Structure 1
Amino acid sequence: MKLVYKGKTKDVYEMDGEKYLLKFKDDVTGENGRFDPGANTVGLTMEGAGKAGLRLTKFFFEKLNNMGIPTHYVDADIENSSMIVKKATMFGNGIEVICRYRATGSFMRRYGMYAKEGQPLDAFVEITLKDDVRNDPPITEDALDMLGILSKEEYKVLKDLTQKISGVVKDELKAKGMELYDIKLEFGRIGEDRHIALIDEISGGNMRAFKDGKYIEPLELEKIMLEN
């Protein structure tokens, strides 16, 4: 298989014209040895993070597929830390979509003059460009449209899907006694009709959750979620 992209937390291989294989790593994003789902650098390596992240990703993607929510997921091999997905086209050079239920992280760094840490937010959707050089700047609906990255019609679909998917994750975490503060998702265009679908992963490494007021580390979150 041909390596087409070497990422921070996973590598992407081309299987054929229609499918890719994602190989999960034990690296997670963060800064100064601390995990941060919004960071654009690898902060630390956690043994078992790749397999744990893939297990939770498999759980959520299969659930979403069964609900009729479009994703790129085809199959997963937990032992080999790999996932087979449909080929997707990125928006521009890639965007990240964050859904926030409480004010924390980069939201506080930007809006701390007005917001209080942990303040409730109503499924606030924020889009950032994948651009390490410019520290992943946030971008508005109008700018996305004017720059030819995403049309206004596509933005509405993207926002709706983000809130729907995040709501599913939030409810699943709540059933295990956890509260979702925020989650980072990625989307792409798939198939001949170029419909918008969820891509990448849904793991402890791209969300923040708390239980009894205490932050839950990604590996612990995945353990709590997948225990019987």
Structure 2
Amino acid sequence: MDFLKHSRYVPMNRRRRIYEGKGKILYEGPEPGTLIQHFKDDATAFNNKKHAIVDGKGVLNNRISEFVFTHLNEIGIPTHFIRRMNMREQLIREVEVIPIEVVVRNVAAGSIATRLGLDEGTQLPRSIIEFYYKNDELGDPMVAEEHITAFGWATPQELDDMMALAIRVNDFLCGLFLGVGIRLVDFKIECGRLFEGDMMRIVVADEISPDSCRLWDIETNEKMDKDRFRRDLGGMLEAYQEVAKRLGILNENDRPTANGPTLVQ
């Protein structure tokens, strides 16, 4: 894919839009089998019931996700990521997205604490994998392996591959964040089918950023993720900046600045 480094850049407004989600837009890529993933500043929660624009969030998520995916590629975990193109965009491989969110939980927080009556912050006996069906109208309901295979969302082998990827990503992320004083509470990944000739393999897709992870400061348990927006804690952009700073990917002079969230009606 080295030839992609020399592909001609086409301005965003002249590209064909393939898909728009809550936080990202996918555009047609410069070569067959590629897409451009554009990170928006939109912050959403509760299936878009809560929505704001946070200036600079997309830039930070792009940089953090690039950092994580680059390292995953380097250690042999297959992903859709090729390279970052600019402050807001990445060049990615086109994949057939499996409509399942794979959530890995290390510490009780969010819905598992509510469902099972656990105190938030309780260390789980072991990492727990959960599956959620990607459907905004239904509120992304939790599903079992039996549902996934029965309804044909993924085959048993694909499900095994997704779980194996999730465990490997968890091992890497736990070590990465622990090294910079951050506790990886939980995270979600999405996976896709990458077709290469007659071959197909399951790869990690979407993004890995403070939008898709719960990250707590090890010393203070200060939340450094999207819960700052969900729970009206404030300081969302500053928290994302701190994550980027600790990972060594943000200099003082290129930090996005903003006046704070702008609520969207």
TM, length-normalised to structure 1: 0.89
1:27 correspondence with 2:27: no
Aligned to 2:69: 61
Unaligned runs of 5+ residues in structure 2 are 1-14, 225-238, 251-265
Aligned to 1:18: 33
Q: Distance in 1 between matches of 2:77 and 2:33?
A: 20
Deviation string, structure 1 residues 101-154 (Cα, Å, up to 9, x no partner): 111111123222xx2221112221111011111110011111111111111221
Aligned to 1:33: none
Name which of 26, 50, 57 aligns with 2:58.
Answer: 50
Q: Distance in 2 between matches of 1:77 and 1:17?
A: 17
Shift of 1:196: 0.4
1:137 correspondence with 2:141: yes
Q: Specify the SS of the correspondent of 2:215.
A: strand
TM, length-normalised to structure 2: 0.77
1:126 correspondence with 2:141: no
**How many residues are matched?**
215
1:111 partner amino acid: L
Shift of 1:194: 1.9
Aligned to 2:214: 208
Which is greater in Rg? 2
Unaligned runs of 5+ residues in structure 1 are 31-38
CA contact (8 A) 1:204 1:222 kept: no
Q: Distance in 2 between matches of 1:84 and 1:227?
A: 19
CA contact (8 A) 2:83 2:91 kept: yes
Q: Specify the SS of the correspondent of 2:211.
A: helix
Aligned to 1:107: 112
2:223 partner amino acid: Y
Change in 2 beyond 3 A, CA 1:196/1:227: closer
1:144 partner amino acid: I
Q: Specify the SS of the correspondent of 2:178.
A: helix
Comparing 58-67 with 212-221, greater Cα deviation is found at 212-221
1:164 partner amino acid: R
1:218 correspondence with 2:221: no
2:177 partner amino acid: L
Comparing 179-188 with 148-157, greater Cα deviation is found at 148-157
How many percent of aligned residue pairs carry the same amino acid? 28
CA contact (8 A) 2:64 2:249 kept: no
2:47 partner amino acid: N
